[in-house]
Chain A
């Protein structure tokens, strides 16, 4: 479903076709539905992807949203690369191939194609008292002490990986670089009214629309309607619950 179609559906449900701009502009709706989509994807973990980026000698902390062409370890404001047209068959989204998702939280990490165990800083200190000084092949990762969207690697790498731009969609095991699997989230400025609603399957789009309606009716404006907002909220939560359950129980988390 295009975002413009979701806009029309929302107006239809609110019986506000014609004169809609008075209370719900397209730009306002775009902000609302993107925020709902962000919330839905982060709560359900419905869409995951792999990012590969360069390892650097002696560097322990890395952003999982690496900036293309910048020094490894520095963050982009959002991820880049071709977004999931192959997954959902919706074609190119937006006016270019750039910047449609970012990663929220690392779930699994590989170095040179080798799986790294997640470990807490406390356990690491117990396991290896001189871990901070050690330089060899990475074995563990942690996000205990790292800022959001970043990870720490132990021991720090004793070599610099092949010089590559961040890549997405599959593992690149060669070149002593990192691969991170994480939940992907939409980037607010990248979506327009002519885009498909990304990341969620057709069956889940209705829940995104109900989430937007909840926010519109639950706001403190003259559109406020508590009963209808409660119904919209129930429908939205119904969607979050089922897709979170599918991800956790059928897809292994």
Chain B
């Protein structure tokens, strides 16, 4: 997969903005690139990472926070052993008192609770057992010119266009209206790359007046 630097991505965004660095300083461009990468990653889940729960297990604790830096969990392991995923409704049908059950050190299941917490069953009685969370990660912020990120070319193109539209937003009028059609390109690419096959994306179109202006 091709590797892009922040410098390259910024240059491509500025190409769409007539290299107007007075109206669009590098700090603004970089912020929109980073936000666009985050949006793209929310849909694709392409950037993943594993992080430990700080401090490990707490005796009797059922709910744990997802470690910072992760967007949402996909797998949980305790002492290197992967737990099976279940759901609150599923485990509660078979073990109604599961939130009170305990094990010295070997839980079997994990249960997502929103995107920022998870439960384990049975709760661990022992302190400081290692709990690792593997999940979709918050993308590392690109700060320096030669910070790197891997993309398919088509993804990089969509991200560059979204960043450009977000910047051109401040101009308003027909300039923005015309540019905003690039958002449709981004949505089309998201539809192809989303990890959720049936997701419905918002529709975006030009209002009549702006459409006429854009045609001029």
Which residue of B112, B169, B172, B202 is within 8 Å of A241 (Cβ)? B202
CB pair B65–A86 under 8 Å, yes or no, is yes
A residues engaging B (CB < 8 A)? 9, 12-15, 45-50, 84, 86-89, 107-108, 110, 113-115, 169-171, 173-174, 179, 181, 183, 201-204, 206, 225-228, 230-234, 237-239, 241-243, 245-247, 249-253
Residues A181 and B177 in contact, CB atoms below 8 Å apart: no
Alpha-carbon distance A237/B98, docked complex (angstroms): 37
A213 CA to B24 CA in the complex, in Å? 19
- When distances are taken between beta carbons in the complex, the residues of chain B under 8 Å from A225 are 172
A179 to B119, CA, bound (A): 14
Complexed CA–CA distance, A7 and B70 (Å): 25
* Complex Cα spacing A227 to B165, Å: 13
Interface string of B182-203 (1 = CB under 8 A from A): 0100010000001010011111
- Choose from B28, B66, B138, B206 the contact partner of A202 (Cβ within 8 Å): B138
**A87 surroundings in chain B (CB, below 8 A):** 65-66, 68, 116-117
**Complex Cα distance A29/B65, Å?**
30
What 9 pairs between A and B have smallest CB-CB spacing?
A113-B100, A48-B114, A173-B100, A252-B87, A251-B112, A115-B92, A203-B38, A89-B68, A15-B170
Docked complex Cα distance between A170 and B65 (Å):
10
Q: Are A173 and B117 in contact (CB-based, < 8 A)?
A: no
In chain B, positions 81-126 with a C-beta closer than 8 Å to chain A are 87-89, 92, 96-100, 111-117
Please report the C-alpha to C-alpha distance between residue A203 and residue B43 in the assembled complex, in whole angstroms. Answer: 11
A-side contacts of B89, CB under 8 Å: 108, 252
B200 to chain A, nearest CB (A): 7
In chain B, residues 165-186, which have Cβ atoms closer than 8 Å to a Cβ of chain A?
A: 165-166, 169-172, 176-177, 180, 183
Residues in A whose Cβ lies below 8 Å from that of B199: 241-242, 245
B58 to chain A, nearest CB (A): 9
* Given A231-B183, A242-B42, CB of A171 within 8 Å of CB of B114: no
